[in-house]
Structures are given as C-alpha cells and as structure tokens.
Amino acid sequence: MELFKNYIFRLVVGANDHCCRNFITYGNKVYSIDDHCLDKDFEDLNNIKMKKDIKLKWNEYILKNKSEILELLDNWNSRFKNENMLKRINKLIEIIK
C-alpha cells in the first residue's frame, strides 16, 4: 500500500517522478517544483512505465487495495487546499470507482 500512496501522491502533486528534489515541504504543505508537470494530466493509474507482467500485478494490487486507495483520496480531498491538486484527487477517485 505504501507504494500506491507514494505513486498517487506524485500524481496529485503533479511531479514527474518521485525524486525528492521535485518537492519542497513547509510544515504540512507540499509543493511540487516540477514546473513542466503542473498541468500534467492522466487517464488511468497506469501512467507509469513498467513491463507487461509487472503491469498485470500492478492492476491486480490496485483492485485488491481499491477501498484503501479511495479512503486515502477522500482523506486528502478534505485536507488539501490547492485547486489543481483537488482536481487531480477527484479525477483519481472517478478513475478508481
């Protein structure tokens, strides 16, 4: 589940990858400094390069952890304030449901 949390966080914040240099934190505020990704869009949770057999497992784990992922996104939806991040959270919720 931690892998999904990190990956979904990257999608919500708008970072292109998980490298720590792409984020600035200030208390409980997180900023992405990956400027070219600010308008990044995605159509599904498979917006990641991986081998075919690994992608099958990835999809299997998404289904297995669906309720936990939705719970996490609902929590973030009530805590985040940035309009772009909220749009991405709601899009992820639509995709997962």
pLDDT digits (tens, 9 = 90+) for 52-82: 888 888 889 888 999 999 999 999 999 988 8
Provide, rounded to the nearest whole percent, the portion of the chain with pLDDT above 70: 77
How far apart CA 82 and CA 29 sit, in angstroms, is 10
Question: How many distinct structural domains can be found in the chain?
Answer: 1
pTM of the shown model:
0.74
Residue range 19-36: mean pLDDT, rounded: 71
Write down the mean pLDDT value for the chain: 80
Q: Could you list the residue range(s) of the whole structural domain that residue 26 is in?
A: 2-96
Residues 6+ apart with CB under 8 A from 93: 70, 73, 74, 77
Average pLDDT over residues 31-47: 64
